[in-house]
C-alpha cells in the first residue's frame, strides 16, 4: 500500500473513529439521563423533561468543551503534544553521546525520506523503553523517546524503534492520533468534573443524604469510568493494526529484524518494560507509543498487539522461556546501549564507521526511473534509501551541519544557498538581506556562502532539510521576512534558476505548514478537471526546464499530459513567466484528492524522464515540486 492509498484508507478510519466517538457520547448521555430520571421520577412530567434536557445539554457541553479545548491546545502540533507530557526538547547540536546518536539516526531517516528533520524530545524521567511521534504533518512532526530507550538500546535497536515511529510520520498516522487525543479528552473530562462536584458538595452531603448535587457528582464519577471504558475501546480499535504496519515498515526501512526484535526483547526482559511512570501522560498518548504505556492492561483495552506476538513476527524462534532468561540476565546486568555500540565497533558519536562510507559519486550521475516506481516511493523509505541517507548525511561538512542545527545560524545558511558567485549580483543580494533582516544576518550569510561554495550540489537540499526546524523557532515577523527575502534573492539576477525557485518554495511551504499544521495538512478532494489549468502549466514548465531542445520538451510534455489527461490532445504552451505561473497553481493543486495527486506525480516523473534517465538537476526539480505538493520523495540521485 503506497502513501496515496493510505491517505484514502485514512478517511475510512477517521469515519470509524467519529462513529465510535458518537456512539460513546450517546451512551454516556443515556446513562447520565437514566440517573437523573431516577432522581426526579416522582416529579411532574414537565420537571422530568426539563431535567433530562438540562442534563443532556450539560453533559454534551462538558464533552464538547473538553474536546474543543484540547484540540485548540494541540493546534501547534507535535511539539505541543510532547511538551504536554513533560518532554524536553533536544538540542540538534548536542554532544551528549546518547542524544547525539538519537539525532544522527533521525537525521539519516529524514534525509533518506526527503522530509524535513522532525523536532526531537526526550522524557528524561522515564526509565521504560518507549517512544512516540506526534504532529499533523512532517512540517510540525516531533519524535519523543524515553531516557530508557536512549540508555538501554544499541544503535540498531534504536534505529528499529525510530523506524517504527518514522513510519507514523510518513504514513500520516500522526494526524489521526492527535485528533484522537482531543476527542477522548472530552469523554474523560466527565470523571474529573464529577470529582470536583464531590469536593464542592462533600460538606453538604453529610447533612443532606439526598442532596441532588451528591447524586450528580457520583453519577459523573461513574461516567468517568464509563468514559475510560469507551476511550480504551476506541484507542484499541484505531491503533492495533497501525502498530503492526509500523513494525513492518521499520523492517522495510532497515532491512533487518534484529534491531526491532532486540528492542522488543529488552522491553520484555527489563522490569520497567515500556511503562511510563507518569500515568496521566501514559493515558493521553498510549495509542501513540511504541509499546504499551501501562503495566497492567486488559487485552480488550490494549492499544498494541501482544508483545510476544510482535517479537514472534520478527523472530519466530523466540520462546517465553528465552524471555524469562532475559529477565534474569537483565536483573543482574541491565543493558547499556552505548557500551553495546562500542563492542560492535561503532564510533562514540553513534554513526556508522568511516570505512562504510564510499567516495562521493560523480556530479553527472543519472538513474533510470519509471512513474509508477517513483510514486510508490512518496513518503516511504527503503533500505537503499536509508543507506543513501546515511552516506549523504556523513558527507555534510561539520561546520555546515553545526550551522543547520542552530536557530541563530540556520537563517543565514538558508539565505547563503541563493547568494550568487558573481560579485555584482552578490552585492545586490547582500543589500537585500541587510534591508530585510539586518546587517548581522547579511554578514553571516556572506560567510556561509563562502563555506557552501565547495559543497556538492546534491547536498544542498539535505542541508536545508536539517535547517528547516530551526527556522520555526524564529519570530513570526522574521519568518515572513525570510520568505519574502528568498523570493527577492532569486529575482536579483537576470534569470531565476530551478534551484533558486525550488528552495524558496520548499522553505516557504514548510514555514506556512508549520504555522498552521492542522489546516494545511488536510487531504484534498478535488478532481483533475477542477485544477486542470494549473496541472497543465506545471507539466509544461517542468518539461521545458528539463529539456533545452524545444522538440524534446514538447515530446516530454506530451508523455506527461497523456498520463494526466488520457485521450486528450493538449497543446504545449509553456508560460512566458514560468515561476509566476507556478506560484498561482500550487494551492489549487494541493486540493487534488489522493488518487489524482498520485497521477499528477506520475505525470511529473514522465515529464522529467522522457529520455529514460533522470539527471541530478531534474531530480532536484522533481523532488522540490513533490515537496510543495506535500508528497516528499527520497533522494533519487546521490
Q: Are 171 and 241 in contact (CB under 8 A)?
A: no
Q: What is the pLDDT of residue 588?
A: 93
Question: pLDDT tens digits for 526-573?
Answer: 999 999 999 999 999 999 888 888 899 999 999 999 999 998 999 999
pLDDT at 70: 80
The rounded mean pLDDT for the chain is 84
Model confidence over 95-104: pLDDT tens digits? 999 999 999 9
How many percent of the chain have pLDDT more than 90?
A: 40
Q: Which of 127-131, 373-377, 451-455 holds the top average pLDDT?
A: 127-131
- 301 has a pLDDT exceeding 90: no
Confirm whether 618 is a catalytic residue: no
367 against 332, higher pLDDT: 332
Give residue 328's pLDDT. 92
Mind listing the pLDDT tens digit for each residue in 178-227? 877 877 787 777 666 666 666 665 545 445 455 566 666 666 666 667 76
Q: What is the pLDDT of residue 359?
A: 42
pLDDT of 354 reads 38
- When pLDDT is averaged across residues 582-587 and rounded to a whole number, the result is 90
Rg (CA), the chain: 27
Q: Of the residues 165, 602, 618, 620, which is catalytic?
A: 165
Does the pLDDT of residue 362 top 50, yes or no?
A: no
Separation between Cα atoms, residue 34 and residue 56, nearest integer Å: 10
As a dihedral over the C-alpha atoms of residue 110, residue 111, residue 114, residue 115, rounded to 10 degrees, the angle is 30
Name residue, grid cell 515500556. Answer: 274
Other beta carbons less than 10 A from residue 127's beta carbon? 20
The confidence score (pLDDT) of residue 224 equals 67
Phi, psi of 145 (to 5 degrees): -125, 150
In terms of DSSP bridges, do strands 119-123 and 142-146 run parallel, antiparallel, or are they unpaired?
A: parallel
Beta bridge mates, 123: 146
Q: Report the pLDDT value the prediction gives residue 350, as an integer from 0 to 100.
A: 42
Note the pLDDT tens digit of each residue in 172-183.
778 778 877 877
pLDDT for residue 456 is more than 70: yes
Q: Burial, 552: exposed, middle or buried (Cβ in 10 Å; 0-12, 13-18, 19+)? A: middle
Q: Is the pTM of this model over 0.85?
A: no
pLDDT at residue 366 is higher than 60: no
Give the pLDDT band of residue 276 (cuts 50, 70, 90).
very high
Q: pLDDT-based confidence at 430, cuts 50/70/90?
A: very high
Describe the crossing of helices 155-171 and 3-39 by its angle, rounded to 10 degrees.
80
Distance CA 70, CA 111 (A): 33
Residue pLDDT, tens place only, 483-521: 999 999 988 887 888 888 888 888 998 998 888 887 777
pLDDT at 18 over 90: no
Q: Which pLDDT score, from 0 to 100, does residue 169 have? A: 86
**Distance (Å, whole) CA 326 – CA 319:** 11
User: To 5 degrees, how large is the angle CA 380–CA 383–CA 385?
Assistant: 60
pLDDT of residue 348: 47
Length in residues, the chain: 638
Amino acid at each position: 500500500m503506497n502513501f496515496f492509498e493510505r491517505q484514502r484508507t485514512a478517511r475510512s478510519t477517521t469515519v470509524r473513529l467519529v462513529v465510535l466517538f458518537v456512539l460513546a457520547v450517546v451512551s454516556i448521555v443515556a446513562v447520565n439521563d437514566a440517573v437523573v430520571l431516577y432522581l426526579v421520577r416522582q416529579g411532574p412530567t414537565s420537571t422530568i423533561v426539563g431535567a433530562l434536557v438540562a442534563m443532556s445539554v450539560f453533559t454534551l457541553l462538558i464533552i464538547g468543551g473538553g474536546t474543543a479545548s484540547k484540540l485548540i491546545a494541540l493546534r501547534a502540533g507535535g511539539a505541543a503534544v510532547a511538551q504536554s507530557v513533560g518532554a524536553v526538547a533536544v538540542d540538534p547540536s548536542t554532544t551528549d553521546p546518547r542524544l547525539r546518536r538519537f539525532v544522527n539516526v533521525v537525521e539519516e531517516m529524514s534525509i533518506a525520506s526527503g522530509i524535513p528533520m522532525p523536532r526531537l524530545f526526550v522524557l528524561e524521567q522515564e526509565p521504560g523503553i518507549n517512544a512516540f511521534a506526534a504532529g499533523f504533518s512532517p512540517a510540525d512532526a516531533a519524535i519523543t523517546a524515553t531516557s530508557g530507550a536512549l540508555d538501554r538500546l544499541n544503535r540498531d535497536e534504536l534505529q528499529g524503534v525510530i523506524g517504527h515511529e518514522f513510519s507514523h510520520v510518513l504514513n500520516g498516522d500522526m494526524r489521526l492520533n492527535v485528533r484522537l487525543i482531543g476527542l477522548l479528552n472530552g469523554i474523560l473530562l466527565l470523571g474529573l468534573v464529577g470529582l470536583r462536584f464531590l469536593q464542592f458538595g462533600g460538606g453538604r452531603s453529610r447533612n443532606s443524604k439526598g442532596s441532588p448535587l451528591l447524586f450528580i457528582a457520583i453519577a459523573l464519577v461513574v461516567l468517568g469510568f464509563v468514559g475510560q471504558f469507551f476511550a480504551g475501546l476506541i484507542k484499541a480499535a484505531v491503533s492495533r493494526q497501525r502498530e503492526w504496519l509500523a513494525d513492518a515498515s521499520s523492517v522495510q526501512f532497515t532491512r533487518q529484524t534484529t534491531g526491532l526484535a532486540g528492542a522488543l526483547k529488552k522491553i520484555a526482559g527489563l522490569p520497567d518494560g515500556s511503562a511510563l511512570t507518569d500515568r496521566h501522560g501514559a493515558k493521553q498518548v498510549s495509542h501513540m507509543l511504541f509499546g504499551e504505556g501501562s503495566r497492567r492492561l486488559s487485552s480488550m483495552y490494549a492499544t498494541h498487539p501482544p508483545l510476544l506476538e510482535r517479537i514472534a513476527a520478527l523472530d519466530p524462534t523466540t520462546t517465553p522461556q528465552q524471555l524469562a532468561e532475559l529477565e534474569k540476565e537483565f536483573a543482574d546486568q541491565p543493558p547499556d546501549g552505548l557500551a553495546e555500540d562500542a563492542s560492535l565497533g561503532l564510533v562514540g558519536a553513534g554513526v556508522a564507521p568511516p570505512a562504510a562510507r564510499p567516495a562521493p559519486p560523480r556530479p553527472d550521475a543519472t538513474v533510470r526511473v519509471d512513474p509508477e516506481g517513483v510514486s510508490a516511493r512518496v513518503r516511504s523509505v527503503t533500505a537503499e534509501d536509508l543507506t543513501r541517507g546515511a552516506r549523504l548525511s556523513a558527507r555534510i561538512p561539520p561546520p555546515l551541519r553545526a550551522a543547520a542545527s542552530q536557530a541563530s545560524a540556520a537563517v543565514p545558511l538558508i539565505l547563503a544557498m541563493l547568494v550568487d558567485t558573481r560579485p555584482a549580483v552578490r552585492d545586490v543580494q547582500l543589500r537585500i538581506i541587510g534591508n530585510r533582516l539586518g546587517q548581522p544576518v547579511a554578514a553571516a550569510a556572506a560567510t556561509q556562502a563562502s563555506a557552501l561554495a565547495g559543497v556538492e550540489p546534491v547536498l544542498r537540499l539535505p542541508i536545508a532539510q536539517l535547517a528547516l526546524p530551526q527556522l520555526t523557532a524564529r519570530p513570526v515577523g522574521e519568518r515572513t521576512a525570510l520568505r519574502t527575502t528568498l523570493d527577492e534573492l532569486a529575482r536579483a539576477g537576470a534569470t531565476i534558476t530551478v534551484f533558486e525557485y525550488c528552495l524558496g518554495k520548499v522553505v516557504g511551504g514548510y514555514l506556512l505548514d508549520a504555522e498552521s499544521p492542522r489546516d494545511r495538512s488536510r487531504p484534498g478532494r478535488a478532481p483533475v478537471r477542477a485544477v486542470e489549468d494549473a496541472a497543465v502549466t506545471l507539466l509544461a514548465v517542468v518539461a521545458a526546464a528539463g529539456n533545452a531542445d524545444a522538440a524534446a520538451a514538447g515530446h516530454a510534455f506530451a508523455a506527461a499530459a497523456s498520463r494526466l489527461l488520457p485521450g486528450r490532445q493538449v497543446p504545449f504552451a509553456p508560460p512566458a513567466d514560468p515561476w509566476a505561473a507556478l506560484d498561482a497553481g500550487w494551492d489549487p493543486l494541493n486540493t487534488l484528492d489522493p488518487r489524482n495527486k498520485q497521477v499528477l506525480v506520475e505525470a511529473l516523473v514522465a515529464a522529467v524522464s522522457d529520455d529514460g534517465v533522470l539527471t541530478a538537476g531534474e531530480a532536484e526539480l522533481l523532488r522540490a515540486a513533490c515537496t510543495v505538493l506535500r508528497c516528499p520523495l527520497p533522494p533519487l540521485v546521490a
